[in-house]
């Protein structure tokens, strides 16, 4: 499995709202956020693009939370701190990737972007 490089999305867009689908709708494999019922291809392209951007933004944000959690778990001030190998096992990462995520998380906690500059959230 290819591992993504931890990074902060510099040009965050405000994503389309992700609405939870009722269980009955998600049981149908053809149902996906009601896109299958859209007849107008322009509207379909617009809504599908909004969803794709929202999922990308959600994935980027989730990676940031993973990095922060990894940094907190590896904090040497914690009596129950974990090693990069322990974190890698828990998250199903390689040890090298876990170490990079710990460092990324430390930068996030310090308020730095991936270039070491102070991070300003554009949203």
pLDDT in tens, 57-83: 999 999 999 999 999 999 999 999 999
- Specify the number of domains making up the chain: 1
Answer yes or no: is 18 within a domain.
Answer: no
pTM above 0.95, yes or no: no
DSSP string across 75-123: -TT-TT---HHHHHHHHT--HHHHHHHHHHHHHHHHTB-TTSSBP----
Break the chain down into helix, strand, coil percent, rounded to 5.
Answer: 55, 0, 45
Does some domain include residue 83?
Answer: yes
Q: What is the pLDDT of residues 27-48, one digit of tens each?
A: 666 777 888 888 999 999 999 9
Q: Is residue 54 a part of any domain in this protein?
A: no
Query: Which structure tokens are listed for 114?
Result: 């991936």
Please, what is the angle between helix 95-110 and helix 41-73, to 10°? 90
Q: Give the structural domain span for 105.
A: 63-123
Residue 113 in any domain: the answer is yes
Q: Is residue 22 part of a domain?
A: no
pLDDT of residue 32: 79
Q: How confident is the model at residue 115 (pLDDT cuts 50, 70, 90)?
A: low
pLDDT tops 90 at residue 10: no
Residue 119 within a domain? yes
């Amino acid at each position: 499995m290819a591992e993504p490089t931890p990074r902060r999305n510099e040009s965050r867009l405000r994503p389309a709202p992700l609405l939870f689908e009722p269980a009955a709708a998600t049981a149908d494999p053809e149902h996906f956020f009601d896109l299958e019922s859209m007849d107008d291809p322009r509207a379909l392209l617009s809504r599908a693009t909004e969803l794709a951007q929202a999922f990308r933004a959600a994935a980027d944000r989730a990676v940031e939370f993973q990095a922060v959690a990894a940094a907190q778990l590896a904090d040497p001030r914690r009596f129950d701190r974990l090693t990069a190998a322990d974190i890698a096992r828990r998250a199903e990462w390689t040890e090298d990737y876990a170490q990079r995520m710990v460092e990324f998380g430390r930068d996030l906690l310090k308020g730095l972007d991936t270039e070491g500059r102070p991070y300003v959230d554009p949203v």
